[in-house]
Amino acid sequence: MSDQNARPAGDFPPGTRVADFRLEEPVGRGGMAVVYRAWDLQLDRQVALKILDPALAEDAGFQERFLREQRAAAAVDHPNIIPVFAAGEADGVLFIAMRYVAGADVRTLVDTGGPLPAWRAAGILAQVASALDAAHARGLVHRDVKPANMLLDAGRPGERADHVYLSDFGLSKPALAALGLTQAGQLVGTLDYVAPEQIENRPVDGRADLYALACAGYEMLAGAPPFRRDQRFALLWAQLSEPVPPLTAIRADLPPAVDGVMARALAKSPADRYQRCGDFVAALREACQGAPGHAGPSAAVTPAAAAEGALTQPADDGLPVPWTVTEPGTDRAATATEPGTATAPGPAAEGALAGGQDFPGASAPGTATGPGGWIKPPSFPGQPGAVPAEATGPLPVAAPGGAESPPGGRAPAARASRTSWNSRMMVALAALLILGVAGTAVAITRGTHRAVAAMPGCVTATATASAPRLGAVHPRFVTLAGMPFAVAVTGNGRWSFVSTGDGHSIDVLRSGGGGAPPVPVRSIGLPAAAQGEAITPGGRYLLAATGSGAAVVSVARAEQGRPGAVLGSLTSPGGAGAVEVTLSRNGAFAFVTLQRTGTMAVFDLRAALGSGLREPGYLGSVRLGVNPIGMTVSRDGRWLYVTSQRRDARAEQGSLTVVDVRRAEADPAASVRAVVAAGCDPGRVITTSLGAMVWVTARASNALLAFSAARLRTHPGSALIASVRVGQAPVGLTALNGGRRILVANSGAHPLRDTPASLGVVDAEAALQGRPALLGLIPAGSRPVEFALEPGGRMALVTNSASHQLEAVNLASLG
């Protein structure tokens, strides 16, 4: 395997051998590792094999520390700690072999079933607490306790329910620092559960794990963690300074004593918390005595009720903060912060956040001053808070009940701390202001907000954008038999699949290698015209929008040319005109836009596949505008953005609909969160981490539109942040360089006269700052429609529908 050292961790096909283990399929991934279901060839048993990012294996010092820490973790023999069978290095690959647990994790349990009864939550927490206390007794700190790392063993008949395994003791901060993967101000952990001392880069012990365990327990009882914010900065602020929202405001069935237990467990100072995890769980159980949900099963609060309570909605594609949140675990919803450009504080940083990003909940420009000239940010829903007018003074402190103490005052919870809250918060803000470790730096200024852009009108005559031609970029073209519509690339980059609407087929292409365009190999016939495509996270199935749903294709059979590649179809009663298909982040659900019926069909893909596609998996439909087309799922998997056209006698106006994914999976008809105007004839939509933006092409406006993801849900009327004039009739788009550039397919189509097609390169940061953003144009074939990126972002593939070509663009030549 020495020739595979440069592979990404998730780029090993089934059948690959790592040491004495044969990989079967990926079952989870995080920011630094991928976990595979694998077979132990020596002991003839199934295991979970975690493979670390190959970059980590290149440092000998890291390898030594990694193996030492894994031996220490494996030495903790406890029934609720997932057993480690082996750890080592093989041909440049670092791996950990663990017991394979067939059940779900607690995160999935809460996501699918809502808040848990008190008796069940306490039972799970007790097992995890016992495991943590055992680890702490041996000097080990987990550092990443969260529901996704609490595995529920399916067990065997007659065994106790909810046997919990705590997984992923992961990598300590010293191990990462040895490789240069941590610097001052960086975190090891997950923001929803991270303790204040971790944020402040202070020494941690078992009480940091206790804080995370309490956050997880709060989520089990409420349906969401205690602090939920639309921006990562706001979440960090809340963990450092905000009081715990009372659980009883969300769960009226819980006794008031529960709030006191949670307040102590989530105290900002470690000294004010319980000193052992078991003490916390014992206090919680005692507080829950007599609660309706404590003695046995009862009706739990619905996820919808929890979402509409005191908690705000989950973070979306938030503005990256200068902390690197390493994800040693395999949380299926983990979101990696996109790398950004460090921005030093200075006069140019005039927004509330770098680039002008607004605080969540901001309704209009302006400031509100408090005593001593302090500027309050627009309120985080249900939570007090303050930011300084200048980044050089002390911070006010939110006292109990939301009142602010004067500068220099202290909240009671901070009295035991060695430093005042003012000093501690200044340390955190200083890090936010000056560090640019992993993302765009955040700058606090005088309370100004990102401007609201004007919605562009419809273009009534042909026009072209003013931009230079990028002569250094020389696309290469592959001619296909049919009219290509969409293209999808496998995770290893070896195969591409192109849907051909007129040919009722899927063209299979093999990678050309070395920067060469892919090579057509074969075609697979379909019963109807194929449009949009999506590949499931594990890479086993290709879905192609067709008819009233989607055709399901076996990727392995398609690659090998074996018969029976088309396994069946997802169908919706009364649906027609399928145009795009996308998947939930875990691949369990599929969504298909149906142009002719103005709806989006929702399918339980996992159930349909489980039935051998004998059942269609149809759950219901989401009512949208006329001609729904493009859609994308947010990076945290929580929201779905759908574009719809609306043609009438006056103009071609369209909309962008925000759909709550969890509600769509449970009750599609009640899942629409917001609808906003999206220019004339909107086409495709993507999301990027940069500024938490949603980008939409407006074909009849010749424009690329940028919406604030947070405002779409809270203040949709002011969500449009930027409008960029691009080429004629833009359709498809894709993000490059972590979202700093957007590549747009200008089809050139116009009712009066077609113009030459092109691919426009847009500087996203310039667009959001109101500066000229169209960097240049790349020649294209006829009618470019949709994009796919090869792994690593080395090459973009673009379907050219009118010229029957697939265009390959070497992105390295863009500079």
Sequence letter at residue 760 = G
Using CA atoms in the order 319, 320, 326, 329, what is the torsion angle rounded to 10 degrees? 20
Q: What is the CB neighbour count within 10 angstroms for residue 99?
A: 17
Does residue 355 have a pLDDT over 50?
A: no
pLDDT at residue number 361: 30
CATH architecture of 2-99: 2-Layer Sandwich (3.30)
State the Cα–Cα distance between residues 723 and 697, nearest whole angstrom: 10
State the Cα–Cα distance between residues 253 and 292, nearest whole angstrom: 6
pLDDT band at 190 (very low <50, low <70, confident <90, very high): confident
Average pLDDT over residues 734-751: 87
Q: Which residues pair with 581 in a beta bridge?
A: 592
- Percent over 70 (pLDDT), the chain: 71
525-539: pLDDT as tens digits = 998 889 999 999 989
Domains 105-441 and 476-814 share a fold: no
State the Cα–Cα distance between residues 5 and 60, nearest whole angstrom: 15
State the Cα–Cα distance between residues 282 and 290, nearest whole angstrom: 15
Average pLDDT over residues 21-33: 80
Contact 236, 321 (CB under 8 A): yes
Q: How far is CA 613 from each of CA 526, 576, 603, 606, 814, rounded to the nearest angstrom? A: 16, 19, 12, 10, 44
192-224: pLDDT as tens digits = 999 999 888 888 999 999 999 999 999 999 999
233-256: pLDDT as tens digits = 788 888 998 999 999 988 989 999
State the Cα–Cα distance between residues 192 and 20, nearest whole angstrom: 37
pLDDT at residue number 301: 36
Stretch (H or E) spanning 711: helix 709-714
487-529: pLDDT as tens digits = 999 998 999 999 987 778 999 999 988 778 999 999 999 988 8
Q: Hey, where are the domains in the chain?
A: 2-99, 105-441, 476-814
pLDDT band at 787 (very low <50, low <70, confident <90, very high): very high
Structure tokens at 612: 């051998």
Picking from 24-28, 493-497, 576-580, 760-764, which range would have the lowest pLDDT averaged per residue?
A: 24-28
pLDDT at residue number 384: 29
Average pLDDT over residues 388-405: 29
Q: What is the CATH number of domain 105-441?
A: 1.10.510.10
Task: Find all residues with CB under 8 Å of 160, minimum gap 6, and list them.
Answer: none
State the Cα–Cα distance between residues 545 and 575, nearest whole angstrom: 12
State the Cα–Cα distance between residues 325 and 128, nearest whole angstrom: 23
Contact 189, 254 (CB under 8 A): no
pLDDT at residue number 157: 42
730-739: pLDDT as tens digits = 999 999 987 8
State the Cα–Cα distance between residues 788 and 798, nearest whole angstrom: 7
pLDDT at residue number 203: 87
Question: Which candidate, 508, 519, 511, places its Cα nearest to that of 566?
Answer: 508
pLDDT at residue number 208: 95
State the Cα–Cα distance between residues 503 and 517, nearest whole angstrom: 22
- For 233-275, give the DSSP string: HHHHHHHHHPPPPPGGGT-TTS-THHHHHHHHHT-SSGGGS-S
Structure tokens at 255: 């006794």
pLDDT at residue number 560: 94
Structure tokens at 808: 């390959």
Query: Pick the residue with more confidence: 307 or 634?
Result: 634
pLDDT at residue number 345: 29
Does residue 609 have a pLDDT over 90?
A: yes
Q: pTM of this prediction?
A: 0.52
Kindly indicate whether the domain formed by 476-814 is annotated with CATH number 3.40.1050.10: no
pLDDT at residue number 237: 87
pLDDT at residue number 52: 81
Contact 292, 67 (CB under 8 A): no
pLDDT at residue number 647: 53
pLDDT band at 550 (very low <50, low <70, confident <90, very high): very high
State the Cα–Cα distance between residues 343 and 384, nearest whole angstrom: 28
Active site residue 648: no
Q: Which residue has the tokens 């109990």?
A: 400
Of the residues 144, 316, 331, 604, which is catalytic? 144
